């Protein structure tokens, strides 16, 4: 994805506009906390790292892609970027006041529970996590089923039988789907996220949803460089309504993206050896 990572389609423009507004609202440090350390876990080219830096944090970023890390370093020369996996973060225990893990990073990792355990490990007691990931219960899953039934007319690339199987799994269970151009992508329920967060010593404090009302339009129609005039007007109206709904606390129930604010509890962190050469 490195070559086109920063070419934001309309879908992602709305996602990041909402996401960064939430990040600024809930992760802005108190004056006495400015200069504390923040981690952008799965930083890509540094979208969230830049916001954390602007808020006054000493910002670090981790990603598996050297190409994305090079772009992040050019974007934000004042931050520290390291190559690594969020399933094995190259930092010592209790290193950060704040962690951002957004851009559906958790949906791309093979072991999300382990990744959240690592985030819990590097968060200091009382530290905050802002997490964004793909949500199971959204209208987009129904669009995928309809697309499969119509010979993939909408371009989801998911056979109808598989989409139906995803829909009819136990309500609390997420699933993994293969999306053309994205590979394996995990869709979570809030119930299973709560279990993983609790195991990592993190308690969910607030929840938002992004792309709830915008899902009236199949997401595949929004994953393009430009929209036609009529579709663009409809999408702009839905984006405004989506942002208003998000403030009510109801949008997460049927939004494509779940956004969760968690807080690291006060349980002592079990010391674990840091990987060789990791910063303290």
Per-residue pLDDT reduced to its tens digit, 57-105: 999 999 999 999 999 999 999 899 999 999 999 999 999 999 999 999 9
Q: What is the CATH number of the domain that holds 45?
A: 3.40.50.150
Contacts of 70 (CB under 8 A, 6+ apart): none
Name the band, by pLDDT with cuts 50, 70 and 90, for residue 4. low
Confirm whether 161 is domain-assigned. Answer: no
The mean pLDDT value of the chain amounts to 89
Nearest to 15 by CA among 128, 107, 83: 107
pLDDT in tens, 13-56: 999 999 999 999 999 987 667 789 999 999 999 999 999 999 99
pLDDT in tens, 205-254: 999 999 999 999 999 999 888 899 999 999 999 999 999 998 888 899 99
Bridge-partner residues for 133, per DSSP?
258
Confirm whether 7 is domain-assigned. Answer: yes
Confirm whether 169 is domain-assigned. Answer: no
Contacts of 271 (CB under 8 A, 6+ apart): 93
CA–CA separation, 103 and 69 (whole Å)? 15
Confirm whether 23 is domain-assigned. Answer: yes
Confirm whether 168 is domain-assigned. Answer: no
Is the model's pTM score more than 0.85? yes
DSSP-derived 3-state class of residue 129: strand
Q: What is the pLDDT of residue 211?
A: 95
Confirm whether 223 is domain-assigned. Answer: yes
C-beta atoms surrounding 189 within 10 Å: 19
Domain that holds residue 94: 2-137+184-264
Confirm whether 196 is domain-assigned. Answer: yes
Confirm whether 86 is domain-assigned. Answer: yes
The conformation of residue 134, written as its DSSP 8-state character, comes to E
Instruction: Kindly tell me the sign of the dihedral angle through the C-alpha atoms of 219, 225, 231, 232.
Output: positive
The count of domains in the chain is 1
């Amino acid at each position: 994805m490195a070559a086109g990572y920063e070419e934001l389609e309309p879908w992602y423009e709305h996602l990041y506009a909402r996401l960064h507004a939430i990040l600024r609202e809930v992760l802005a440090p108190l004056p006495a906390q400015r200069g504390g350390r923040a981690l952008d876990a799965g930083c890509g080219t540094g979208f969230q790292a830049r916001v954390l830096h602007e808020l006054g944090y000493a910002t670090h970023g981790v990603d598996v892609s050297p190409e994305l890390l090079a772009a992040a370093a050019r974007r934000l020369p004042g931050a520290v970027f390291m190559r690594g996996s969020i399933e094995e973060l190259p930092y010592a225990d209790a290193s950060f006041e704040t962690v951002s893990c957004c851009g559906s990073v958790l949906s791309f990792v093979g072991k999300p529970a382990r990744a959240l355990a690592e985030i819990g490990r590097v968060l200091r007691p009382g530290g905050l996590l802002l997490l964004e990931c793909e949500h199971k219960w959204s209208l987009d899953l129904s669009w995928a089923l309809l697309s499969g039934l119509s010979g993939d007319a909408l371009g989801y690339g998911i056979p109808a039988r598989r989409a139906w199987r995803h829909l009819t799994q136990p309500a609390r269970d997420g699933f993994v789907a293969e999306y053309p151009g994205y590979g394996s992508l995990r869709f979570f329920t809030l119930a299973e996220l709560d279990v993983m967060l609790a195991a990592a010593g993190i308690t969910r404090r607030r929840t938002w949803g992004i792309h709830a009302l915008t899902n009236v339009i199949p997401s595949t129609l929004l994953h393009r460089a430009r929209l036609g005039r009529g579709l663009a007007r409809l999408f702009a109206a839905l984006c405004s309504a989506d942002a208003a709904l998000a403030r009510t606390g109801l949008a997460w129930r049927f939004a494509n993206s779940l956004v969760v604010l968690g807080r690291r509890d006060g349980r002592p962190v079990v010391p674990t050896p840091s990987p060789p050469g990791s910063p303290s």
